[in-house]
Amino acid sequence: MFKVKKVVDLSWDLNENTPIYPGDPEPSIKVATTIENEGYNLFGVYVGTQTGTHVDAPYHFSNTGETIDNMELDFFIGSAVVVRVTDKKAEEEITMEDLAPYLDKIQENTIVLFNTNWYKKRGTEEFFHHPYLNGEVAEYLVSKGVRFIGIDTINADKTGGTEFPVHDLFSEKRLMIGENWAYFDKIDFENVVVAAFPLKIVNGDGSPVRAVAMEVEI
């Protein structure tokens, strides 16, 4: 048994102002029924599969990749390490040098979170010119048996670029990417467990998630 001592929400609010990747569907969340008129409150929700805090299934970047409904649920919960790269500038790569202090903590099935603090730039043009992982880092993580990474930027690869080495590799290897997460800087404890379960969208390329980090005591 383990005890959860603290929970940190790593998710954006989901509303019509939630940041989206350029060209993705605009979220629409409207009142559908009310207690006064129909006897109950209900909202109509239209969002893209990549809206807000979300995960990418392999199908997102490959027509032959696995869809979100077929990914095993144990992908979405596990021990995590937070890689602090808050000194990164706009469109600067996250490299193996940045990863070096954390190598002994990255084991098979570790969830790796990249803390850039770029989520704080929401509402500015700079938000879309974020740091991103380079291909060497992605390849190293895959070689170590990492199945799931998360980042507090809108894209693990460079937004507006023409190549997507992180997405291509994780798609090919049947692995998961979490993007547009937030508040990694509030994870101020060791023994981190992350949970971020997707909706069971049949044949889906990904899903919004409610991502959390938990401090656990075994």
Whether 145 is in a domain gets the answer: yes
Whether 25 is in a domain gets the answer: no
Query: Residues 147-187: pLDDT tens digits?
Result: 999 999 999 999 988 899 999 999 999 999 999 999 999 99
Whether 23 is in a domain gets the answer: no
Query: Residues 59-103: pLDDT tens digits?
Result: 999 999 999 999 999 999 999 999 999 999 999 999 999 999 999
Token pair 């889906």 is found at 204
Domain count, the chain: 1
Query: Domain containing 113: what range?
Result: 3-13+50-217
Whether 29 is in a domain gets the answer: no
The number of residues in the chain equals 218
3-state secondary structure at position 104 = helix
Angle at 40 between CA 35 and CA 46, to 5 degrees: 110
Whether 156 is in a domain gets the answer: yes
The CATH number given to whatever domain includes residue 113 is 3.50.30.50
How high is the pLDDT of residue 1?
A: 63
Q: Which residues pair with 198 in a beta bridge?
A: 209
Task: Write the single-letter amino acid at 90.
Answer: A
Whether 110 is in a domain gets the answer: yes
Q: What is the DSSP letter of 204?
A: -
Q: Record the pTM.
A: 0.95
Q: Give the residue from 205, 180, 208 showing the smallest Cα distance to 21.
A: 180
Whether 114 is in a domain gets the answer: yes
Token pair 């989901």 is found at 14
Whether 45 is in a domain gets the answer: no
Are the C-beta atoms of residues 165 and 191 closer than 8 Å to each other? no
3-state secondary structure at position 179 = strand
Task: Write the single-letter amino acid at 24.
Answer: D
